[in-house]
Structure 1
């Protein structure tokens, strides 16, 4: 993101947002792999565990900076192609 002082506007590079979303998807994929969870959308029964809390935090970060990852809850996003 860049700030242009004369016009008092922010400019956000689309490539930067794409890069951030790719990094977030990779991080979610890594978390799921380490926790032994499926990379495809799945349902989790019972209380959330550490992996789900970490995934939720990453999805929340994306939402806070205006990126719609296609899911807002752990286990709902397909990250099988995030490499």
Structure 2
């Protein structure tokens, strides 16, 4: 994954991925441009999935104790 993709926020990566999908669905790109866009889209998808997994792990680390107080559970 390029360094540029790795530095994107989830929201920015998702926005760019959505634009790439629209452009590819439009069918007006040259073949080489479409291949490059597809490769970039694959990297963006991977980045978004990693960000979501990280967020899910952080959310799962928050547990509610029996007295109703939220507590942090250490991540493995």
* Range class of TM-score, shorter chain: 0.3 to 0.5
Determine which structure has the larger helix proportion and give its number. 2
TM-score (norm 1): 0.32
